[in-house]
Amino acid sequence: MKLVLFEDVNGLEVFVNPERVIWVREYGDRNTVISCGGEDKFMVRLTPAQAVATMGVPVR
């Protein structure tokens, strides 16, 4: 299993399994929400493209 480390907008470390990510969406001010389904979502200070590139996931 691959885990990618992010820092959320509160400065907390979040480890994400890229295979479980459902969607990545920008909410303005370079804040992006990454959702792994249900209540499993968090906000980071990256653009969606930066977040996806960090996870190493190809964009379709």
pLDDT tens for each residue of 8-26:
999 999 999 999 999 999 9
Strands in 32-35's sheet, in edge-to-edge order, are 23-26, 32-35, 41-44
pTM reported for the whole predicted model:
0.86
- For the record, the structure tokens of 29 come out as 């001010």
Q: Which residues contact 13 (CB under 8 A, 6 or more apart)?
A: 5, 6, 7
Phi-psi region of 40 (alpha: psi -120 to 50; beta: other; left: phi over 0): beta
**pLDDT attached to residue 20:** 94
Q: What share of the chain has pLDDT > 90, as a percent? A: 83
